[in-house]
């Protein structure tokens, strides 16, 4: 499970490396790790730990406490319904050495949420890549050599009912993602009631 930041131990003056993401359910993280072990040889790349499997919405970089507070307030004003995500696509970006799971048809809600968080980040001075958003869950890193990509994914699906802000912490040779804050998305029932 992704660790929750202990508020008392956070050094409020130091910039933190932050990103918005969708967490994957724990059982799905375990299923993906098992599927990955069955489908990739160990030399394919460095596997991402189960607890670190996530879908990035917006990368913010090193952010001051004041800027993080503004971004958290803006995130709290987002009101949109949750959506279902099916990880039915797979690919390899040899340039960045990433093997990923993605969506053949990303739900519109996912694209809207990422777009909103990215434009809020850009307006708050967090550099945003000009590359188009390609929703994905990184499975392996350091995959710079050609790899046989399985024809089919595990086809895992989940309902995204909240999105979260994480801090990325690198210590003792390991990257850990600490949960900073989560925001619920409206349930589909509420949305249809409101129509």
Q: Does 59 bind ligand 3AM (CB under 6 A)?
A: yes
Closest CA to 64 of 18, 16, 20: 16
**Helices (H), strands (E): how many in the chain?**
4, 11
Q: Does 168 bind ligand 3AM (CB under 6 A)?
A: yes
Q: Does 19 bind ligand 3AM (CB under 6 A)?
A: yes
Residue from 31, 56, 64, 72 touching ligand 3AM (CB under 6 A): that is 56
Residue from 11, 129, 132, 152 touching ligand 3AM (CB under 6 A): that is 129
Q: How far is the CB of 139 from ligand 3AM (least distance, A)?
A: 9
CA angle 155, 158, 161 (to 5 degrees): 160
**Pairing relation of β-strands 54-63 and 162-171?**
unpaired
| CB nearer ligand 3AM, residue 19 or residue 163 | 19
User: CB within 8 A of 52, min separation 6: which ones?
Assistant: 2, 175, 176, 177
Catalytic residues: 54, 136
- Chain centroid offset of residue 66 CA: 23
Q: Does 89 bind ligand 3AM (CB under 6 A)?
A: no
Interface ranges with ligand 3AM (CB under 6 A): 19, 56, 59, 129, 136, 138, 168
């Amino acid at each position: 499970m992704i660790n929750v930041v202990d508020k008392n131990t956070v050094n409020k003056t130091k910039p933190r490396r932050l990103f918005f993401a969708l967490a994957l359910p724990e059982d799905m993280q375990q299923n993906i790790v098992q599927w990955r072990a069955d489908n990739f040889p160990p030399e394919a790349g460095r596997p991402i730990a189960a607890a670190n499997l996530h879908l990035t919405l917006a990368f913010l970089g090193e952010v001051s406490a004041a800027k993080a507070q503004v971004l958290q307030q803006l995130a709290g004003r987002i009101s949109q319904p949750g959506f279902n995500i099916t990880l039915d696509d797979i690919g390899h970006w040899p340039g960045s050495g990433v093997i990923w799971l993605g969506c053949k048809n990303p739900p519109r809600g996912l694209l809207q949420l990422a777009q909103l968080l990215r434009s809020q980040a850009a307006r708050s001075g967090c550099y945003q890549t000009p590359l188009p958003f390609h929703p994905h869950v990184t499975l392996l890193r350091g995959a710079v050599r050609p790899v046989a990509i399985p024809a089919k994914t595990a086809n895992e699906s989940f309902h995204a009912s909240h999105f979260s802000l994480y801090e990325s912490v690198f210590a003792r040779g390991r990257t850990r993602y600490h949960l900073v804050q989560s925001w619920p998305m409206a349930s589909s029932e509420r949305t249809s009631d409101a129509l």
